[in-house]
Every structure is written in C-alpha cells, then in structure tokens.
C-alpha cells in the first residue's frame, strides 16, 4: 500500500489492495457509523477485508471525537489516517455517499480528497452536477458512481432508484461515470437487482452489496437471504467489473463485526469455488 501522506497520492493507489474472492471487497464505513473512522478501519482489518469506503462526517477517532473525517480533513488527519490504514493493511478505495455541488471550486474539494487518498472513485446522488462530475472524473482519473436509495412514493422527483434513469443520465459521459449499484435498495424499490446490474452493463462503477430475506427485511449475512448474490457476482465478473464492492450492513449496528466477517467469508468462498482471482 502506498503511503497516504500530506502530499498528493497516486490516484491509482487502490490497486495495491489484494482481492478477496476476485473482488476489491470491504465495508462501507457507514456499517460502523456508531464508531469512529479509525475504528471502522480496524474492524475492516479484523473482518478480513482488503479495502474500505469512507463516508463524510464520521468521527475521526475515539481520542479525537470532535474531529470529522471528510474532504475537509487537515494534513495531520491525513498523516494519522495513513499510519492507521497501513497498520491494518487496509486500502481506502471509495468515498460517499456525498453531495457534490454543481460548483467547480467546491466540487474539486471532493476530488482533491479522493486523489490524495488514492481512491478509485467517489459515490454521490448529485445528478444535477453530472456534466461537471464527468469533466473532473476525466481530469483526475477518478470514477464517479451514482448511488440509488429506495424509491420514494411521496417524492416523484427522486429518480436515482431507477437504473433506467441512471443509464440515461450517464449515456453521454465518459466510461469513468456510472452507477454505484446498491442491490438492497433496488430490491426495496421492488426491482430485480440482477436485472438492474445486467441493464447497466459497462456502467457499474462500484456496488453497495446487501442480502435480504424479503423486500422489507433488514440486512442479513450474505447467502442467507433471497438476493441472487452469486448470480450478481457472476454477472459482474462477466462484465469485467474492476471496481469495489462495499459491504453496507445496516442492522445490528453495535455488534455487526461478525456479520461483516461472514459476508466477506461468503464472497471469499464463492470466489474460490469459481476460480476468480
């Protein structure tokens, strides 16, 4: 892993991460939002992950709870986080879900943060900024994934839940811009997650992976729900997917480390059986 120092890092540093089951796999730090970013990195290492996706505004550490970890971080925070990531052999790979305004000066703050960390991509729902995001993605060599939360029946203006909308949104963008495919939120919207991944072929930048027993259930460890995770993994492999899969486990908040480890074990096992590397 390359050092994340106060100077700009190689924007492709994430490729130093090892794959788990054929994928760059680790938690979305939101999974551990009851804890600090430092603790999230530690938990990622203990669970057997290779990467982590940060989210904006998480408490920096137990020792410095008043500091936040986001794109306004100080040089000292970068240095401390670099040492902590190296200790746990975790590579930062993505950042989101974050709002990115349609203002170039402000938007660059997120991309500068991503470049400094050596990230693969950033995750957002700021569709109004798509042209600017495409421009900056090409300039920085950093991917942009548009994330989907569930359909909002009382808010028809919220459209990113629909993969057809995302596909149309990015059709004129560079290949660096696409979808952060949240499988659980698609299912909660009444969609077939596998069909959505197939529809977005070539545009799946990253994924927030979830398994559920039914449309309204909480997350369950991978392989114990009804989501066709193996088929989705096979489809991603067939598409030549090179992004990160983030385990976003939104239940059992105070004690979910073993659940995350079980999710990692599931994908490791599937990858071993399939011969993915």
pLDDT in 10s for each residue of the chain, 277 residues: 333 333 334 556 677 778 999 999 999 999 999 999 999 999 999 999 999 999 999 999 999 999 999 999 999 999 999 999 999 999 999 999 999 999 999 999 999 999 999 999 999 999 999 999 999 999 999 999 999 999 999 999 999 999 999 999 999 999 999 999 999 999 999 999 999 999 999 999 999 999 999 888 899 999 999 999 999 999 999 999 999 999 999 999 999 999 999 999 999 999 999 999 8
Would 252 be classed as within a structural domain?
yes
**What are the DSSP calls for 32-58, one per residue?**
GTTS-HHHHHHHHHHHT-SEEEE-TTE
**Residue 18 counted as domain residue:** yes
Return the ∠ at Cα 17 (arms to 73 and 261), rounded to 5°.
90
What separation in angstroms does the CA of 142 have from each of 50, 106, 161, 169, 216?
Answer: 19, 16, 23, 18, 34
Assigned token pair, 48: 């057997």
Q: How far apart are CA 139 and CA 115, in angstroms?
A: 11
CATH of the domain at 256: 3.20.20.150
Separation between Cα atoms, residue 214 and residue 150, nearest integer Å:
14
> Are the beta carbons of 49 and 264 closer than 8 angstroms?
yes
Residue 4 located in a structural domain: no
Inter-residue contact 148 to 172 (CB < 8 Å): no
Instruction: Domain count for the chain, please give it.
Output: 1
- Can you give the residue range of the structural domain that contains 221? 13-274
Q: Is residue 206 part of a domain?
A: yes
pLDDT in tens, 89-143: 999 999 999 999 999 999 999 999 999 999 999 999 999 999 999 999 999 999 9
Cα–Cα distance measured from residue 233 to residue 223, given in angstroms and rounded to the nearest whole number = 12
What's the whole-number average pLDDT of the chain?
Answer: 94
Residue 3 placed within a domain: no
Closest CA to 25 of 208, 195, 223, 227: 208
Q: Is residue 6 part of a domain?
A: no
Residue 53 maps to a domain: yes
So what's the pLDDT on residue 7?
30
Alpha-carbon distances of 116 from 4, 69, 119, 121, 176, rounded to whole Å: 7, 14, 8, 12, 18
Residue 1 lies in a domain: no
Per-residue confidence (pLDDT) for residue 13, from 0 to 100? 67
| pLDDT of the residue at 215 | 83
Hey, what's the torsion of the CAs at 196, 40, 16, 121, to 10 degrees?
40
């Amino acid at each position: 892993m390359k050092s994340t120092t106060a100077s700009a890092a190689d924007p492709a540093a994430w490729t130093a991460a090892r794959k788990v089951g054929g994928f760059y796999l680790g938690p979305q730090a939101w999974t551990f939002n009851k804890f600090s970013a430092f603790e999230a990195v530690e938990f990622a290492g203990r669970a057997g992950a290779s990467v982590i996706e940060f989210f904006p505004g998480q408490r920096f550490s137990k020792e410095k709870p008043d500091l936040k970890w986001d794109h306004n971080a100080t040089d000292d925070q970068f240095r401390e986080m670099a040492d902590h990531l190296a200790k746990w052999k975790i590579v930062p790979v993505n950042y989101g879900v974050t709002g990115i305004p349609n203002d170039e000066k402000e938007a660059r703050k997120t991309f500068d943060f991503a470049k400094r960390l050596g990230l693969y991509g950033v995750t957002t729902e700021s569709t109004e900024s798509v042209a600017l995001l495409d421009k900056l993605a090409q300039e920085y060599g950093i991917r942009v994934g548009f994330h989907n939360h569930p359909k909002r029946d009382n808010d028809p203006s919220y459209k990113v839940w629909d993969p057809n909308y995302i596909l149309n949104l990015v059709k004129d963008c560079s290949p660096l811009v696409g979808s952060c495919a949240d499988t659980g939120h698609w299912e909660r919207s009444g969609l077939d997650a596998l069909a959505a991944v197939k529809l977005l072929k070539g545009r799946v930048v990253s994924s927030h992976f979830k398994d559920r027993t039914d449309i309204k259930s909480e997350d369950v460890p991978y392989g114990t729900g009804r989501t066709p995770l193996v088929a989705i993994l096979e489809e991603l492999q067939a598409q030549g997917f090179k992004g990160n899969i983030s385990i976003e486990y939104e239940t059992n908040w105070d004690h979910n480390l073993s659940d995350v480890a079980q999710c990692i074990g599931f994908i490791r096992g599937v990858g071993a059986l399939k011969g993915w590397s």
